Structure 1
């Protein structure tokens, strides 16, 4: 999507607490580069998390199936509507904002790290190497093109700071124009991260289904069924929590969490076996393919058991990420006076195990990708059939590819959460992604 160069894009600066920072926005239009600089400065100066919210026209083509829909009565939709209404009432700048559009919340890297730097990673689009899933369809990946960003001024309103039901307000006392909107930021982060995790779950399910159709492994099919059966409970608990309710035992979330934790335990055990097997290999020497496949069955085959084990681990991690977000939201809403701080603390603490597991799996894949395969043993003099040569070459290529596409740099990046809002006030929240994706 590319906007006209003369188009003005309203942008709000959202704080999650009553903070004081030097006035940096002014009332003049900004470039996209200047806005990015502003985010970094505000993140460094403010004691509370700060985000920006832009509003763009809805694209003609928008795959809403990737996001999580919320009706107009949901807290997130109400907080967004309230922000729009109050801003339009008190600012000439935002008078042209009618509410319908694609709202893009960008959270700086420093803030994104507070809710787990391993949470947000690009999701490759199926059948399109190097492409990412996202709400927008432009080829450049730039949402605003050369549009101008105009800061939106606000006036102070009642209930500026408070719990999940608080209204938006403005931080006062000589500060920059910072709308205090902790509930809106919290809900956007929670739904965006949940949608991102569910996107990874869908990808894993697609891959596992294809693999198990080839392998016909009943035990692995049972593992998949147990994990995929957790989705219904998680979806219902998500809906209840995002309506600021409290999920009860009848939703089945407890049993779902047990199944997910069991799958993570299985992934931990498999990971430990892989690490021990790699540690036993002679350092700096070529490895026989037969020796390698004993510890990593099917590693020379893109549809092998080893790949299925990797996808099952990915599925368990994705489901657990959704559960962790739910637990963090519940914790934050239980303590409304310190809403966003509780959310980030709970989320970051529980994410650590998942980050360690995912990083360790990536470490195994990188180590495997660097292995050199030896010639088959036991042949004196070495005589190879064409089939043996082809298999060895395919296996070498396959093993070297294991390291392709893995994310070994966990440095936090700016995170973008896109929200499509219709005229009736209902919204669709798309998966949170790196802002540069």
Structure 2
């Protein structure tokens, strides 16, 4: 089954706790076959099962979106121990050069924790493209043969606070499952946090550009208050990733209050938009009426409505980072059940964000489907050229709003890519749907 002309890619099969599954991953496989086997394992096992691939680091990899972690951090330590404690079919992966490790979470598992948190992000580089560390090196993966790593020993199976150096029990079955709950938990947590941070950066860039044109002091204050939460979130993230506990001195409580206030403001604006759209249903809408309810919507520079949308996006992105922090902290309190505790904590509040994002998408869809009409008077008989241009311009802007909607596919797998340097340090890229 192995094609000697293709590069061999080591692939580990990781689980968060010992499970019994049939031996179905015992030979070299193609990328398509590996994807099928992930789905089978996820369906059959009682615990989450993911795969971890080791690819040569692409020379053109954009590292600017990654979250760097020291070699002594829990994630880097667990990854190093996994490499040392399990033999690989093609030497010691990542021992003397940079290696890009790609953890792929099957759709069934990903749907439990990524809903509302990880969605495709449109790439500015190409229409229809999405961000992802392996996007430019997909040719390597597509032409590779994946070689299962022999299981012999397993990485530490304890929670985040467990000893990373401890060698756990032998693999559950001949399928070479490796129990690595801390590695899976930390990779997911950092990948989701990096994803939310990338969304925050995109939102703050758009808002800053808009506010330079609007000169709105109230919106400036909203943006400043939200962006001021970043320091507390970054500090709390660093503490948690170093296995610490978040204290009151970090100031995360104040940041959470500011973010929750912004989310509530976004919900209030959403309800106002929904009421306006409801009144527009079933009839053609005049430009004056549209402008009254959605201020600046026909402004090519964005306008007030666009700024309110972007501030809502910023608040949501920050809230997602806080959710991940709170979920990891919760998991640390249950050292025997780390990943499952993380999933439960994530689910507690993510539904609220899902409803908010779904409501905003509904408004954008409604606006993109509106039929516009000119303002009418007693003497109106024909359209002027200016009126025609104005209607066409606004119709085009409304249609573009529909293109901004991000639709989550519950059948999508989620990938988290980690670049490991020879000194053991790791850079984790934003998690993304594939």
Write the distance in 2 (CA, Å) between the matches of 1:174 and 1:136: 31
**Partner of 2:402: helix, strand, or coil?**
coil
Unaligned runs of 5+ in 1: none
1:29 CA displacement = 0.9
1:147 CA displacement = 0.6
**Residues 22/207 of structure 1: CA separation in 2 closer, same or farther (3 Å cut):** same
Q: TM-score, normalized by length of structure 1?
A: 0.93
Is this contact kept in 1: 2:66–2:428, CA < 8 A?
A: yes
**Partner of 1:244: helix, strand, or coil?**
coil
Give the equivalent residue in structure 1 for 2:146: 149
Q: TM-score, normalized by length of structure 2?
A: 0.94
Write the distance in 1 (CA, Å) between the matches of 2:105 and 2:56: 20
Give the equivalent residue in structure 2 for 1:299: 297
Write the distance in 2 (CA, Å) between the matches of 1:430 and 1:120: 13
Give the equivalent residue in structure 2 for 1:86: 85
> Structure 2 matches for 1:254-403, cutoff 5 A?
254-281=253-280, 283-302=281-300, 303-403=302-402
> Structure 2 matches for 1:114-133, cutoff 5 A?
114-126=112-124, 128-133=126-131
**Residues 127/7 of structure 1: CA separation in 2 closer, same or farther (3 Å cut):** closer
1:225-279 per-position Cα deviation (integer Å, ceiling 9, x unaligned): 0011111110110000011101212111111111100100100000000111111
Write the distance in 2 (CA, Å) between the matches of 1:58 and 1:201: 27
Q: Cα RMSD over matched residues? A: 1.8
Give the equivalent residue in structure 2 for 1:98: 94
Unaligned runs of 5+ in 2: none
1:384 CA displacement = 3.5
Write the distance in 2 (CA, Å) between the matches of 1:131 and 1:316: 25
**Residues 63/127 of structure 1: CA separation in 2 closer, same or farther (3 Å cut):** closer
1:129 CA displacement = 3.0
> Structure 2 matches for 1:25-174, cutoff 5 A?
25-26=25-26, 28-87=27-86, 91=87, 93-99=89-95, 100-126=98-124, 128-136=126-134, 138=136, 141-142=138-139, 144-156=141-153, 159-161=156-158, 164-167=161-164, 169=168, 172=171, 174=173
1:164 CA displacement = 3.4
**Partner of 2:417: helix, strand, or coil?**
strand
1:16-37 per-position Cα deviation (integer Å, ceiling 9, x unaligned): 11111111111x2110011001
